[in-house]
Amino acid sequence: MNPHVILRVVAKMLIPLIALFAFYVQFHGDFGPGGGFQAGVIFASSIILYALIFGMAAAKKAMPPSWVRIGMSLGVLLYGGTGVATWLLGGNFLDYTRFAPESTHAAGQHWGIFSVELGVLCTVACAMLAIFYAFGSRVQDLSDEDW
């Protein structure tokens, strides 16, 4: 029997919950503690937990390093692109009110911050994973007999 069977069963239950909690922190950031950075770290930690328990190869299959590289730059593009979009709408860089200038309850601010935070989530999660993959890939996986 696999020596890590308890850890694997519990991790299987927890990993989806951790990823879901990351999105809760992301989308609840307007009303409570949270935001893109924290959500990104939590999401990355769910995949790091997967890598620690099921091995690096399985994690790289679930979240390929090529996706991680694309995700890192995609987040920055989303953040910068929001700023450029407000330029094109005739305002300053990241002048969110331009998205809905007629709104009386700051809907433009809401959408602007939403897309910027989404960019932060994407970049932070992928950067954390990139760092983990870079360090984790330097040594061979320890087999169970070694320790």
Partner 1 sequence: MTLEIIQLVVSGAFLISGVFFVLAGAVGVLRLPDFYTRMHAAGMTDTLGAEFIIFGLMVQAGFTQTSLKLFLIAFLLFLTSPTASHAVADAAHHAGLKPLLGKFRAPNPAEVKANKVEKH
Which residues contact partner 1 by CB under 8 A?
3, 6-7, 10, 13-14, 17, 147
Query: Which of 135/147 has CB closer to partner 1?
Result: 147
As measured in angstroms, the least distance from the Cβ of 10 to partner 1 is 5
As measured in angstroms, the least distance from the Cβ of 129 to partner 1 is 22
Query: Which of 17/84 has CB closer to partner 1?
Result: 17
3-state SS, one letter per residue, for the chain: CCCCHHHHHHHHHHHHHHHHHHHHHHHCCCCCCCCHHHHHHHHHHHHHHHHHHHCHHHHHHHCCHHHHHHHHHHHHHHHHHHHHHHHHCCCCCCCHHHHCCCCCCCHHHHHHHHHHHHHHHHHHHHHHHHHHHHHHCCCCCCCCCCC
As measured in angstroms, the least distance from the Cβ of 62 to partner 1 is 21
Query: Which of 8/61 has CB closer to partner 1?
Result: 8
As measured in angstroms, the least distance from the Cβ of 47 to partner 1 is 17
Query: Which of 32/90 has CB closer to partner 1?
Result: 32
Contact 4, 52 (CB under 8 A): no
